[in-house]
Structure 1
Amino acid sequence: MDNNSIYTQRSDSRISSFFAKIYGLVGIGVALSALVSYLMLYAFWENTVALISNSPWIYYLAIFGELGLVIAASSAARRNSTAALPLFLVYSALNGFTLSFIIARYTQTTVLQAFISSALVFFVMALVGVTVKKDLSGMAKALIAAVVGIIIASVVNLFIGSGGLSYIISIVTVLIFSGLVAYDNQLIKRVYDYNGGHVEDGWAVSMALNLYLDFINIFISLLRIFGNND
């Protein structure tokens, strides 16, 4: 075996470890969110109902808290701060709390279908991102612009209350974040190569946060699509 083959095998092993670290964090984040949602919907169901009925403002406060945590976690990750991982985990737990209010509207079958479908879409698009040779940066810019459009349309629909528009928004959201899954996985490889394989832990948390957000947005959108008649 020549030296180039040995180097390639070592490089493949190191980038595989980098991917494993990131996806391990994504898995922990999703599991933590699922655990908190489960506890809210089963172990503390009476408390959840009381919150929905008597203190809905807590839900909206949690939403703003999530936004702050995402910004803080992203900033900490860019600075390679040790606070990045705890902030990501706290965000995942809080997101599980807010997700429980959404999941409570749907049947267990619908939730399971949405979760399995989200996982399939996520991993298929992740594979596309890892294997495709074309630079997806241009597509990512268009998708991020589309996210802004979706946010605006969602705010408008809060006042209109159109079920048809909500359904269209959910479909478009799945398409947008599916594309971002592919881009984020390609970005992992680019970051790894750019740093010559010496990637700081902050990058791993940052990439994990991006992929976690992709998955959650796909899940919520599919939940709304599958549960349209729930």
Structure 2
Amino acid sequence: MQTIDKSRANGLARFTSLVYLYTGLGVAFWLLVANAIARNAALSKVVMSGMVSHPVIFSIVIMAVAFGFISMANAFATRSYFMTFISYVLFLTTFAVFGIPIFYAYSAQSITQALVVTSVIFIVSSLFGYFTKKDLTTWSRTLLIGLISIIAVSIINLVFFKSSLLMLGINIAVIVVFLFYIAFDAQNIKRIYEQAQGSETLGAIALVASINLVLDFINVLLSLLSIFGNNN
């Protein structure tokens, strides 16, 4: 029994390490793609024009495509690491569109500072979620309601109010909600491993498990930049 428990603990540790490795690489790739597009004057002009002219429609289309690739990654996770990886890269590449404006709006120093602060927040929340004895699945409904509310208020503000003060409140709410999401997703790694252990595509499953953590990190980063960028 002790041998089985030790083997399971070692397997979980390796799986968790792989998930967080993919998370770090995913965030880095997202930033690199966003920066590369921002440096391409012709391509970035088209993207920024779409963001400014039709912000709601543009955002919905990009998110729909990105989440389509996430669905593909989930579908391939138990069958093919290669196709899961391709879907993952396509998701990050599509979602990188939302990172393009930060290379126009903020200095390199502000982006670096925001990355450091986000990393600290991410590590602390992850450690809490992973090691707490509390079952965080009870947060699921509340977090979903909070996320839907944020999206709804953001759309209303973009279309009608265009209020910078309301946008500040939205960004604060995003940071708070995703702090809890990071903890929730960190604990969820254990459940994913329990369901997937023994699978021949455990690497692909770890890749998919990192997607939510990548999204958590990016949302906190963008909100911190919006609030504190350029020493604002």
Q: Which TM class, normalised by the smaller chain length?
A: 0.7 to 0.9
Which of 33, 37, 43 is residue 36 of structure 1 equivalent to?
Answer: 33
The alignment partner of 1:140 has SS state of helix
Q: How does 1:76-155 map to 2 (within 5 A)?
A: 76-78=73-75, 80-82=78-80, 83-155=83-155
Deviations 1:46-88 (A, max 9, x none): 3356436766579965862442232342354155243332111
Please list every run of 5 or more consecutive structure 1 residues that lacks an aligned counterpart in the other structure: none
Q: Mean alpha-carbon deviation: is it higher for 176-185 or for 28-37?
A: 28-37
Indicate if the aligned counterparts of 2:48 and 2:101 stay in contact, CA closer than 8 A: no
TM-score where L is the length of structure 1: 0.85
Indicate if the aligned counterparts of 2:37 and 2:44 stay in contact, CA closer than 8 A: no
Measure the CA separation in 2 of the matches of 1:204 and 1:157: 37
Structure 2 residue 228 is matched with structure 1 residue 226? yes
TM-score where L is the length of structure 2: 0.84
Amino acid at match of 1:77: N
| 1:47 equivalent in structure 2 | 42
Measure the CA separation in 2 of the matches of 1:164 and 1:84: 41
Measure the CA separation in 2 of the matches of 1:53 and 1:182: 33
Deviations 1:80-127 (A, max 9, x none): 243332111111122224311243112222211211111111111110
Indicate if the aligned counterparts of 2:72 and 2:87 stay in contact, CA closer than 8 A: no
Deviations 1:140-178 (A, max 9, x none): 220111000000000111120111110111011011111
Deviations 1:191-212 (A, max 9, x none): 22345x3254453233111111
Q: How does 1:119-198 map to 2 (within 5 A)?
A: 119-158=119-158, 159-195=160-196, 197-198=197-198
Structure 2 residue 19 is matched with structure 1 residue 16? no
Please list every run of 5 or more consecutive structure 2 residues that lacks an aligned counterpart in the other structure: none
Q: 1:53 to 1:116 in 2, by over 3 A?
A: closer
Paired residue total: 224
Off by >4 Å, runs of 4+ in structure 1: 52-63
Q: 1:146 to 1:155 in 2, by over 3 A?
A: same
Amino acid at match of 2:226: R
Measure the CA separation in 2 of the matches of 1:76 and 1:53: 28
Which of 197, 207, 210 is residue 208 of structure 1 equivalent to?
Answer: 210
